[in-house]
Chain A
Amino acid sequence: MTSLLTASGAETAARITAEEVSATEVLDFWLERVAGDRLNGYLWQADRESARSGVADSDGPLAGVPIAIKDIFCTEGVPTTAASKILGGYVPPYTATSVDHLRTAGMPMLGKTNMDEFAMGSSNENSAFGACLNPWDTSRVPGGSSGGSAAVVAGGLAPWSLGTDTGGSIRQPAGFCGIVGLKPTYGAISRFGMIAFASSLDQCGPLTRDVTDAALLLSALQGRDEMDSTSVGIEGGIETPTAERLDGLTFGVPRDLMREGIEAGVLARFEDTLLRIADLGGEIVDIELPHAEHAISAYYVLAPAEASTNLSRYDGVRYGLRASDEDLLSMYEVTREEGFGPEVKRRIMLGTYALSSGYYDAYYGRAQRVRTRIVEDFDTAFDRVDFVVTPTSPTVAFKLGEKTADPWSMYLSDIFTVPISLAGLPAISIPAGLAEPEGGGPDLPVGFQIAAPAFAEQKLLEASYALEQAIGFDGTLALEGGVE
């Protein structure tokens, strides 16, 4: 049934409503695809029964279209590992609020997708359960940390998926895999049940074939949650975008941030997209984000610091791995030594150091103030422009193993996504086209990032939709790549 493979989530939902196809046929179709996963995109796969467990009978706009869920979301009765050995075999007794919203909307779960351990990474190579492969080229990474969520959508193993983004973890893999990835405003979607990495940065969001699907999912996910005191929801809700043009809208380009380190092909697609914006009536303006060059440094103090405390609960006492019973200290130290992978340990150490006595002011305290500066930079920019645009990532998908030797080179992959995360603003990555990688080889997707002011998701989706239609990227190209 190839039409189901290439149909978007919205299209499939419409067919179910029109009774052209049944929800069961749709579920069976996708479960069969999932079973053929050759990308290591799934850490856990559902069957018919488990896929439907807890799912409501709904006749809403999403009903019956199944979805893949990043293994960072707690799902009652279903293993949830955050791709870590320390949670190997852990089964939560409750379900994340965001996933609950999807179940209420009538969406079955296809499985739990692979990711960088505890969301720490930009390539999915930090998973304790093996790397995930990019369906465009299986010698390359799908990006991270929501690598599995992106790969399964791009590789025809799910019509859409749920991921999380802390410094770029939805947008960057979406860019690498030629799909749409949306990080909403911090506070738009509940974080309850989303295993915490960096509390003041983590947000849940959809990875989809197109902008319309992203809007549909966002509409179901957003909302204030009494279990999350930092959640607000999006006032007014979200509607399906329909804009065809960009007349009267200004798009700011932070050229300062783009002086070096960008692959030629990525830059070319970026400039192409700017021309398209102009064709559609949009105005391109140079802007400055004077402190954005320090965003990666600030982020790699703040995020590891918060992570170091969030991951202290993995101590062998109440759940998860316990690797020693010799005495209390050994239980803690050996469990955490054996349970955490190298990147997680690196960040815990960095974060603990940044918070430790004598270093707080110089590191955590200072990084929080630099964060304020970055928030101010965006406030100033959005006084002049409606959107800020950048390439999603400085490169296309890199090869497995290419950046694992030097942590900082991996961190630089997030140079365009991190500033927006620090400011808590919404941003989307849409496919801008294909480009040849620097070292040569088959063309790979290039992502285009659009950021908007806080809670301006509707405007963001409208503009993205119009641009997406104009670009006309063929999202079906890698769909066969997921299954042998």
Chain B
Amino acid sequence: MSTEYEAVIGLEIHVQLSTKTKMFCGCELSFGDDPNVHTCPVCLALPGVLPVPNRTAFEYALRIGAALDCELPAINTFDRKNYFYPDNPKAYQITQAVRPFAVNGKLGAVRIHHAHLEEDAAKTIHTGGAGRIQGSNASEVDFNRGGTPLVEIVTEPDLHSGAQVREWGQLLRATIKQLGVSDVNMEEGSLRCDANVSIRPVGSSELGTKTEMKNMNSFRFIERGIDAEIARQKALVESGQPVVQETLHFDPSTGELHSLRSKEEAHDYRYLPEPDLVPVVPTQAMLDEARNSLPELPAARAARYEEIGVSEQAALLLSFETEWAEYFEGVLAARKGIDPRVAANWVTGEFSAELRRQDDQPLAEAKVEPASLATLIGLVSEKKISHGAGKTVLEEMVASGADPETVVADKGLEQISDSGELEKIVIQAIEENPKPSEQVRSGNEKAIGALVGAVMKATQGRADGGEVNRLLRQHLGL
């Protein structure tokens, strides 16, 4: 009999803030520029320099703290975290190890242990090319990134699967994006997510030995990597072997896990309070600004949409993208009585698909105004045109920005909903198709399909299917 194991996962997420300058000096932030063009004595850690913290970085940090429903403590201090590495020019990183700017929050079902401010390391590229000594391998260091303001968010180990991590990670990303404080782009490195993974028997409250997973640059890879690691740990434990604390990297192309370095030789960071930086005591004004500047965040917005009838899936999609949510609300506002569920499905379904199909048009450049889309949706809801015709009209609207009613008229797509006219056609179809008519009368209801087809042909698809069915059945005596 084997034990059931559950996975316990905690995340450490690094968010690069989109301030104009670095955390402790006035160098501009950059991405993709030539190496070492954004450096100064401070971020190069020349002798004699001192750090001065970026006010906006603090403001952005407090906004993140507020968005994650954290307590924002009265006193913030900084600490030095000591370790030697070429991308760490002072050989210490200035961080907040003792009094971070935010503690005890939550987002969705996951509790936030804390969030703190720190500076990013520089970039080391292992070139493998020769250094000054013949035959030696070399690395090259670019200090442009060094000193970029980072917020590190640490969760409690409240996650239990790769899928859950992916979903929650996407919610976190959407939430922070809407604060306007970071690009949160995993490919560019403005959002990085590391996971601590362990397993334990179901029902146990102790934590198992954890491994750390790093360097995964999409939530889909993280999901797969975590699932692979959970499986690996289960296999180890079930064969009686211990899980060793180490740092791992998941290679998505092979599905393999590689050890990056053993955590056995854990760093002794020798933390001490940063003597060059005095405490930051957020003023009431700063705290109010942080809380009051929050837009409606994804979790709240999705809940609001679901309450008015939008499907869970569409609500989630809309809440993650402010642009789309605003578009959707524009559609609702343009037409009294429009069904939010239907509108949301059109916006997130047909409309978004059509934009993608037509050269991946960005929403901001779309030629279709919300009011126009609302009109189209109304035409379909009121059965003036069929759903299929609606899609045809939409294609034209996306391509040329045409008015839906004009397109319907031009292409002659009005549905025949006039019962009298339709009834005549139905009667005619029954007369012209005696065989299927007879089959239906004798009990084979499936044969009605051929009659429906005949009516549709006669009306060039402009009849409302439901109404056709009703009339056929009426005149066939069903």
Report if A318 contacts B (CB, 8 A): yes
Contacts of B276 in A (CB 8 A): 199, 229-230
B136 near A74 with CB under 8 A, answer no
**B87 to A, closest residue via Cβ:** A317
B472 to chain A, nearest CB (A): 83
Give the contact stretch, choosing among B88-96, B236-244, B401-409.
B88-96
Report if A299 contacts B (CB, 8 A): no
Give the contact stretch, choosing among B6-14, B50-58, B419-427.
B50-58
A312 near B92 with CB under 8 A, answer yes
Contacts of B52 in A (CB 8 A): 226-229
Q: Mark A175-194, 1 if CB is under 8 A from B, else 0.
A: 00000000000000001111
**B274 to A, closest residue via Cβ:** A199
Contacts of B51 in A (CB 8 A): 229
Given known pairs A325-B132, A325-B136, A332-B84, the reply for A194 and B92 (CB within 8 Å) is no
The 8 closest A-B pairs by CB, nearest first: A312-B91, A199-B275, A355-B270, A200-B275, A325-B133, A195-B47, A193-B48, A74-B48
B41 near A93 with CB under 8 A, answer yes
Q: Mark B257-279, 1 if CB is under 8 A from A, else 0.
A: 00000000000101110011110
Contacts of B50 in A (CB 8 A): 191-192, 227-230
Report if B380 contacts A (CB, 8 A): no
Contacts of A94 in B (CB 8 A): 41, 46
Q: How far, in angstroms, from A80 to B276 measured CA to CA in the complex?
A: 22
Interface size on A, as a range, is 35 or more
B265 to chain A, nearest CB (A): 13
Report if A90 contacts B (CB, 8 A): yes
**B272 to A, closest residue via Cβ:** A355
Report if A328 contacts B (CB, 8 A): yes
13 contacts between A and B (CB under 8 A): A90-B47, A93-B46, A192-B50, A229-B278, A230-B276, A306-B275, A309-B82, A313-B89, A315-B91, A317-B141, A328-B86, A357-B268, A360-B271
> Which of chain B's residues 36-76 have a Cβ closer than 8 Å to chain A?
41, 44-53
Residues of A within 8 A of B (CB): 73-74, 80, 82, 87, 90, 92-94, 96, 191-196, 198-200, 226-230, 305-306, 309, 312-315, 317-319, 325-328, 332, 352, 355-357, 360, 364
Contacts of A195 in B (CB 8 A): 47-48
Contacts of A193 in B (CB 8 A): 48-49
Contacts of A314 in B (CB 8 A): 47
A230 near B91 with CB under 8 A, answer no
B267 to chain A, nearest CB (A): 10
Contacts of B270 in A (CB 8 A): 309, 352, 355-357, 360
Contacts of A317 in B (CB 8 A): 86, 89, 141
Q: How far, in angstroms, from A92 to B44 measured CA to CA in the complex?
A: 12
Report if B295 contacts A (CB, 8 A): no
Contacts of A332 in B (CB 8 A): 84
Q: How far, in angstroms, from A318 to B40 measured CA to CA in the complex?
A: 12
Q: How far, in angstroms, from A187 to B125 measured CA to CA in the complex?
A: 40
B41 near A196 with CB under 8 A, answer no
A313 near B53 with CB under 8 A, answer no
Contacts of B41 in A (CB 8 A): 92-94
A318 near B133 with CB under 8 A, answer no
B139 to chain A, nearest CB (A): 8
Q: How far, in angstroms, from A194 to B47 measured CA to CA in the complex?
A: 8
Report if B131 contacts A (CB, 8 A): yes
Report if B80 contacts A (CB, 8 A): yes
Q: How far, in angstroms, from A210 to B51 measured CA to CA in the complex?
A: 35
A228 to chain B, nearest CB (A): 5
A82 near B92 with CB under 8 A, answer no
B131 near A318 with CB under 8 A, answer no
Contacts of A191 in B (CB 8 A): 50
B33 to chain A, nearest CB (A): 19
> Which of chain B's residues 136-163 have a Cβ closer than 8 Å to chain A?
136, 141
Q: Is the interface of B mostly helix, strand, loop or mixed?
A: loop
B91 near A313 with CB under 8 A, answer yes
B259 to chain A, nearest CB (A): 19
Q: How far, in angstroms, from A315 to B92 measured CA to CA in the complex?
A: 12
| Of A313, A352, A357, the contact of B47 (CB 8 Å cutoff) | A313
Q: How far, in angstroms, from A293 to B89 measured CA to CA in the complex?
A: 38
> Which of chain B's residues 71-120 have a Cβ closer than 8 Å to chain A?
80, 82, 84, 86, 89-92
A74 near B268 with CB under 8 A, answer no
Q: 16 other contacts beyond A82-B47, A360-B272, with CB at 8 A cut-off?
A: A73-B48, A74-B48, A87-B47, A92-B48, A195-B47, A227-B50, A227-B52, A230-B278, A305-B272, A309-B82, A312-B82, A312-B84, A313-B47, A314-B47, A326-B133, A356-B268
| Of A194, A229, A230, A325, the contact of B131 (CB 8 Å cutoff) | A325
**A311 to B, closest residue via Cβ:** B91
B341 to chain A, nearest CB (A): 55
Contacts of A226 in B (CB 8 A): 52
Given known pairs A309-B82, A309-B272, A325-B136, the reply for A318 and B44 (CB within 8 Å) is yes
A192 near B49 with CB under 8 A, answer yes
Q: How far, in angstroms, from A137 to B51 measured CA to CA in the complex?
A: 43
A318 near B45 with CB under 8 A, answer yes
Contacts of B86 in A (CB 8 A): 317, 328
Contacts of A198 in B (CB 8 A): 275
A374 to chain B, nearest CB (A): 17
Contacts of B45 in A (CB 8 A): 313, 318
Q: How far, in angstroms, from A195 to B131 measured CA to CA in the complex?
A: 30
Contacts of A357 in B (CB 8 A): 268, 270
| Of A73, A92, A229, A364, the contact of B272 (CB 8 Å cutoff) | A364
Contacts of B89 in A (CB 8 A): 313, 317-318
A194 near B48 with CB under 8 A, answer yes
Contacts of A82 in B (CB 8 A): 47
Q: How far, in angstroms, from A238 to B268 measured CA to CA in the complex?
A: 46
**B47 to A, closest residue via Cβ:** A195
**B134 to A, closest residue via Cβ:** A325
A96 near B91 with CB under 8 A, answer no
Q: How far, in angstroms, from A82 to B272 measured CA to CA in the complex?
A: 25
**A86 to B, closest residue via Cβ:** B47
Q: How far, in angstroms, from A228 to B24 measured CA to CA in the complex?
A: 11
Q: How far, in angstroms, from A230 to B51 measured CA to CA in the complex?
A: 10
A375 to chain B, nearest CB (A): 15
B46 near A319 with CB under 8 A, answer yes
B344 to chain A, nearest CB (A): 51
**A364 to B, closest residue via Cβ:** B272
Instruction: Name, among B80, B90, B133, B272, the residue most crowded by chain A CB atoms within 10 Å (CB to CB).
Output: B272
B136 near A326 with CB under 8 A, answer yes
Q: How far, in angstroms, from A80 to B277 measured CA to CA in the complex?
A: 25
Q: How far, in angstroms, from A195 to B46 measured CA to CA in the complex?
A: 9
Contacts of A355 in B (CB 8 A): 82, 270-272
**B83 to A, closest residue via Cβ:** A312
Q: How far, in angstroms, from A230 to B53 measured CA to CA in the complex?
A: 12
Q: How far, in angstroms, from A303 to B136 measured CA to CA in the complex?
A: 38
Q: How far, in angstroms, from A191 to B157 measured CA to CA in the complex?
A: 43
Contacts of A87 in B (CB 8 A): 47
B367 to chain A, nearest CB (A): 50
Instruction: Name, among B46, B92, B131, B132, the residue most crowded by chain A CB atoms within 10 Å (CB to CB).
Output: B46
Given known pairs A305-B272, A309-B92, A309-B272, the reply for A315 and B136 (CB within 8 Å) is no
Q: How far, in angstroms, from A332 to B91 measured CA to CA in the complex?
A: 11
Contacts of A74 in B (CB 8 A): 46-48
Q: How far, in angstroms, from A193 to B41 measured CA to CA in the complex?
A: 10
Q: How far, in angstroms, from A175 to B450 measured CA to CA in the complex?
A: 114
B80 near A309 with CB under 8 A, answer yes
A92 near B46 with CB under 8 A, answer yes
B428 to chain A, nearest CB (A): 89
A218 to chain B, nearest CB (A): 21
Contacts of B84 in A (CB 8 A): 312, 315, 332
Given known pairs A199-B275, A229-B277, the reply for A313 and B90 (CB within 8 Å) is yes
**B92 to A, closest residue via Cβ:** A309
| Of A90, A227, A229, A312, the contact of B90 (CB 8 Å cutoff) | A312
| Of A96, A230, A309, the contact of B48 (CB 8 Å cutoff) | A96
B136 near A327 with CB under 8 A, answer yes
Q: How far, in angstroms, from A319 to B51 measured CA to CA in the complex?
A: 19
